[in-house]
């Protein structure tokens, strides 16, 4: 009917702060769990959890960015 340039753009995805927090928490928790398992396998569970948390926070931020990159 109308050329593509005149048609309305698809609606942008809305930003959900609670959903973003859940994605961040899940990503961090998964990395901490993986770190705990690896640490347990080598005999240093506490260090594994610490390394998992250090890796997990940036991984969670990247996951939130990828999930909500079209919101802004």
Q: How many Å from the N-terminal Cα to the C-terminal Cα in the chain?
A: 29
Q: For the chain, which residues make up each domain, given as ranges? A: 35-72
pLDDT of residue 16: 84
Q: What is the pLDDT of residue 71?
A: 81
- The residue ranges of the chain whose pLDDT is under 50 are none
Report the C-alpha gap between 25 and 37 in whole angstroms.
Answer: 18
Q: Check residue 22 and give its pLDDT.
A: 95
Q: What is the DSSP code string of 22-49? A: HHHHHHHHHHHHHHHHHHHHHT-HHHHH
Q: Which long-range contacts link 53-56 to residues 24+ away (Cβ below 8 Å)? A: 53/28, 55/31, 56/27, 56/28, 56/29, 56/30, 56/31, 56/32
pLDDT value, residue 1:
60
pTM: 0.75
pLDDT of residue 10: 63
Please write the tens of the pLDDT for every residue from 46-61.
999 999 999 999 999 9
């Amino acid at each position: 009917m109308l050329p593509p340039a005149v048609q309305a753009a698809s609606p942008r995805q809305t930003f959900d702060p609670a959903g973003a927090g859940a994605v961040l928490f899940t990503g961090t928790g998964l990395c901490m769990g993986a770190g705990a398992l690896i640490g347990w396998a080598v005999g240093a569970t506490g260090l594994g959890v610490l390394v998992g948390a250090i890796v997990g926070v940036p991984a969670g931020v990247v996951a939130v960015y990828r999930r909500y990159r079209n919101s802004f």
